[in-house]
Chains A and B, each alone.
Chain A
Amino acid sequence: MDSVADEVRKELGALLPRLRRFARAITRHREDADDLVQLSVERALTRWQQWQPGTRLDSWMFRIMKNAWIDEVRARARRDEVLAPEEAGEHVGHHPADQQQLAMDVHKAMAQLNDDQRLVVGLVLVEGLPYKEAAEVLDIPIGTLTSRLARARDALQAALGDPVNGSRA
């Protein structure tokens, strides 16, 4: 019985809700999000030896998810997009009634970002990774990360309006 493999499985099980949240942030379709999680879990289980005990398993998984998303799922999502544009709100899921509209607005705003921007938003603003950790997941310098993040924030804030002063498009 391999205890590291067991540990990876066990911790992956506990991570599943977060992996789904991250996937929801970087994909545009709800089904794509779970497909991405499933594919990434399967990949992780075939190469768990590459994970170093003591390092962050979440970051390791986010990296696998990023690569899987770029490699495979995105190509398919593009094809699907041509055939079946998503209906508004399909991606959103269950929310308390007062948050439903906000959630839809946020998903819409996220959909306007490019994939690189969605990845940094997903890692830093949704999953709360430190800049350094997120930059390592994406294999980019910190300066690149922060400038991508800044542009993504500008775009999101422009799309969502200014909640402080109440002005909305």
Chain B
Amino acid sequence: MTTNPVISDDLLRAFVDGELGAAEQARIEQAVSADPALVLRLAREQALREQLRMAFDPVLDEPVPARLAQALKSSEAVVVDVDPSRLQRPAANDSRGWGWPQWGAMAACLLLGLFGGRLLPWPSAEDGLPLAQRGGTWVAQGPLAQALSTQLASTQAADAPVRVGISFLSREQRYCRSFAWRGDAAGVACREGDAWALQVWTQQARTAPPGGDLRMAATPIPAAVLKAVDDTIQGAPLDAEAERTAAARGWRR
């Protein structure tokens, strides 16, 4: 070894990245301890790593958007065990402008029907939709109401007419569930008394012939539904056990 070895930037950076073998690492450590200029260069390299860490690590503590958890569940009914601590939403200082109150006030008395981008007239019973109007609110009825009350996401059949997505507690402490209906509609409903009040309902043009291979599970969840979940949810979605418990209690808090 030479008496005053030149430590290149590449070598110093490999050292900072933990890429050197034990002998070479010891050589750098020794050189650093004897050379103040090298200390400064090393500090500069460590600072960059630290700056990147401080800029990007907070992403790890952000709540994972519901649509990503949903994407994981999408193609089969398999329970996904996302670490709930990762999904915790910050309790305060959520500064997004389009929060639940505005959305809720609007959605409580509106149904959103998307049909090739146009708003549809209110759906009616003649359309064969599983909805009914009750005191200015649209509520689920028939098989949809039944499924929302009793069907568990963790055990539902792959070809069930109603597919429950996630169940969660709203910021108003009501149980809510996202769902897909027969592959061309989707929505979010929250428990109000003994009914499921629709928060959002979206419907798409049927793009496959009846009996064709349009599968429920392959239906993309519309952005409006994902947004409703994101804006409504308090904390993490219920896991399979919490969902079962909530169903057993009739979805009452």
Q: Is the CB of B17 within 8 A of A16?
A: no
Most buried by A among B9, B18, B43, B71: B71
Given contacts A20-B64, A93-B59, contact A13 B51 (CB under 8 A): no
How close is B38's CB to chain A, nearest CB, in angstroms? Answer: 12
Chain A residues with a Cβ closer than 8 Å to the other chain, count: 48
Produce 1/0 per residue, A29-70, CB < 8 A to B: 000001001100110011000000000000000000000000
Complex Cα spacing A46 to B76, Å? 11
Given contacts A13-B83, A38-B71, A157-B48, contact A24 B78 (CB under 8 A): no
Chain B residues with a Cβ closer than 8 Å to the other chain, count: 45
Point out the residues of chain B lying under 8 angstroms from A131, CB to CB. Answer: 14, 17, 19
Partner of B69, one of A16, A18, A121: A16
**B215 at the A/B interface (Cβ < 8 Å)?**
no
Enumerate B47-72 residues with CB–CB distance to A below 8 Å.
47-49, 51-62, 64-65, 67-69, 71-72
Complex Cα spacing A92 to B62, Å? 12
Partner of A124, one of B17, B65, B80: B17
Point out the residues of chain A lying under 8 angstroms from B80, CB to CB. Answer: 9-10, 12-13
Q: Is the CB of A94 within 8 A of B90?
A: yes
Complex Cα spacing A162 to B51, Å? 11
Point out the residues of chain B lying under 8 angstroms from A5, CB to CB. Answer: 76, 78
Complex Cα spacing A37 to B68, Å? 7
Q: Is the CB of B17 within 8 A of A12?
A: no
Point out the residues of chain B lying under 8 angstroms from A156, CB to CB. Answer: 48, 52
Point out the residues of chain B lying under 8 angstroms from A25, CB to CB. Answer: 52, 56
Most buried by A among B18, B58, B61, B62: B58
Q: Is the CB of B17 within 8 A of A10?
A: no
**B172 at the A/B interface (Cβ < 8 Å)?**
no
Point out the residues of chain B lying under 8 angstroms from A144, CB to CB. Answer: none
Complex Cα spacing A104 to B86, Å? 23
Most buried by B among A25, A45, A156: A45
Residue positions of B touching A, CB distance < 8 A: 9-10, 13-14, 17-19, 40, 43-45, 47-49, 51-62, 64-65, 67-69, 71-76, 78, 80-83, 86, 90, 93
Q: Give 12 A-B contacts (CB < 8 Å), ordered by A residue.
A: A5-B78, A6-B78, A13-B72, A16-B68, A16-B86, A20-B60, A125-B48, A146-B10, A146-B14, A150-B10, A156-B48, A157-B44
